[in-house]
Structure 1
Amino acid sequence: MKGRSSDQPTMEMDVQKNPWSRDRTMRIIIQDDTYRDVINWKSLPKSFLPSTIDVTKEDICSESKVFLLMVEPDDSIAAVKAYIQEEKGISFKKQKLLNEDGGVMRDAQTLTSAGINKGSTLILRYTPITQIYVSTLTKRRFKLMVESDDTIADVKAAIQEKEGIRFHKQRIIYNGRQLEDDKSLVDSGIQYNSELKLVLRLCGC
């Protein structure tokens, strides 16, 4: 099924009927707030992002906009991002969708499981994403995709999800020093392709 949208001023919204839609098709509201991220992006150290990544006028709008999207209740958040990419040209990997309470929507969630119903609003934000590496004492090395405002705690949570290593057992070392959970990656001096060392805490520590 293809998502369909129609640009309108913030207070006036309309949508064209999708010829491929089924009876279950519903309309949701996408609030495009990507313009809010321009200042944050420009304030990041250039070393945090791949040199091939840049922000253009086409990437981010200059003001908040609202458009409607036709979806299925069992569509995933990933599918919604694909529809937005198709209709608005915003790269899938650059999108972050939030619910009305500001909670980040995960790609694997369905709209139904996320409590998104007909007429619900999803907020579209634009997040700079970069890659880092994590190595262990057993010589295992793996890649993580992280966001500019991620903290070390976020990295530990990502490691637990990816590798099954419990959060509280992890110690993250960078440039010979242990990083605190509340520190952001940028504040810790972590850059594009930086390598963090993962050390496991001994029992009782």
Structure 2
Amino acid sequence: MQLNNHTSSYGWIAIFIHWGMAITLIGLAIVGLWMVDLGYYSPWYQVAPFWHKSIGLLLIPLLLFRFYWRWRQPTPAAPKGHSQWERVMAGMTHTLLYALLAVILVSGYLISTAKGEGISLFGWFEVPAIISGIEGQADLAGKVHYWAAISMLALAALHALGAVKHHLIDRDTTLVRMLKPSSPTYED
């Protein structure tokens, strides 16, 4: 089982983190948009934010591990047919996706801790409110959280369309190598 990346494909750890975070973020975005309209008497009024916050908190160490893993592992080289602008665009897109995710996680934390209360992580323990009491903290962090999430979803859609374009039109290994590891080759 190929856990590590090599120069022509990603390993299972990078693949699992990529798809796990992608599915989780889409789910959190859907729940986040849905829960802001919940009424006080809805049975989901407290349950949905509890799960949204707890899962969001789990993404913080996962994102840090993802940064570490990306730093420690080789990034597969782009297939030979990719033009310079495609390589630059891919790099910028990945960087912006990581930055937006970090902004979403920090702003979510700031929304939840604005009143000085910690955040329960699945009821196991409480993550303390380190930063709180800033005037308008919840409102400002809420706007940042919302717009960063919308921007990330739009950018992720562009990212997905690019992968599909490479698979269906260019017929290269861009998408396939994020679905399963392949044997090391140098002819991609």
TM-score, normalized by length of structure 1? 0.28
State the structure with bigger RCO (CA 8 A, min sep 6), 1 or 2: 2
